[in-house]
Structure 1
């Protein structure tokens, strides 16, 4: 599969790029994508710190008052929630939000997310993300030539996204940047347009082949 390569100036690059059909030509399946997105969102949830309830508090269980004649309610021990130092009534409990998902399914889901953007015509390939000055105003003018509608996700090839581009786009609404190593199904599907650099494509294909 061939893709047209453009520059940030909106011009066509000197040559096109070949997209690996094993990565960008897979037929997407909604059930696989749903499983991966659910796993990803569940994995990032944090659990509450568990509170000690009545059975967890180490206090005496000895009856501390008379059964009658005290003028107060009758209690068996000091672990009751109404006493200072007693157990918490209906307190937060530690919950497990880390469901397991086969690595093969996670890999397949990422390939399908990339393929879905290529299939829908929402994949843009840029030569690179190099800009002269890390200025938001100048970058905004360059990106307006592409006419991105909604949210656009830029994925570069280095371990860290192009710092100048990242800095210039930080205040632009709807523009997100990620390194190729951080590409994930949720962010790709969430974006209306996926923008990959040549280096980003090479890194992603190498990631699957490796």
Structure 2
């Protein structure tokens, strides 16, 4: 699959990049995508939720009333879960939600996601560029030139670029990542993916590695 390389002005150059079929044109595996996205979202959870159980509530342990003869139900102490302010039964406790996913499954998921985007013509290749200084206005102008200013966009750089990252980090619906950090969730969540020309080979080498 050949894709024309674009200038920062949005115009096409005479260059074209041939995308690897083994990464951008495989038969997508929906279940692998599901597992990888589920794993990514689970890893984002802090798992710090906590409610106090009966043994952690501050209060007297004295029996509230005698066992029989009151005409009401039996009652223990004030920390009983049935009473207001009592401990919670089976409440949430801190836990780790993350789970392991095999590397081959993760690679298959990323290839599947990229293949979906390539099939939808949602992938563009941009000439390597750099900003002399962090300028949000320049990054906004770049998005407008590429006609993606009003869409969710994922920029994939070959390597970390401080000026570019600082220029685009506060822009809504725009995310910047590097070739070695690309993940299935970001790919599927974006309407358009803009690859910097030098990042393509790095992504292909990463996902074709045995």
TM-score by length of 2: 0.77
> Aligned with 1:15: secondary structure?
strand
Q: How far apart are residue 147 of structure 1 and its match?
A: 1.0
- Cα distance in 1 for partners of 2:143, 2:100 equals 39
Residue 152 of structure 1 is matched in structure 2 by 153
Structure 1, unmatched stretches of 5+, are: none
Q: Aligned partners of 1:34 and 1:46: how far apart in 2?
A: 21
- Equivalence for 2:110: 110
Which aligned pairs between 1:1-210 and structure 2 lie closer than 5 A?
Answer: 1-50=1-50, 53-54=53-54, 88-90=87-89, 92-94=91-93, 95-148=95-148, 149-158=150-159, 160=160, 162-210=161-209
Query: Deviation string for 1:22-71 (max 9, x for gaps)?
Result: 111112233332222122212222223555634689xxx998x9879xxx
**CA RMSD of superposed structures (Å):** 3.5
Uncovered stretches (5+) of structure 2, i.e. residues with no partner:
none
The Cα offsets for residues 67-125 of structure 1, whole Å up to 9 and x where unpaired, read as: 79xxxx9876797569xxx9833363334522343322111000111111111100001
Residue-pair matches, total: 206
Q: TM-score, normalised by structure 1?
A: 0.77
Are the aligned partners of 1:5 and 1:17 in contact in 2 as well (CA < 8 Å)? yes
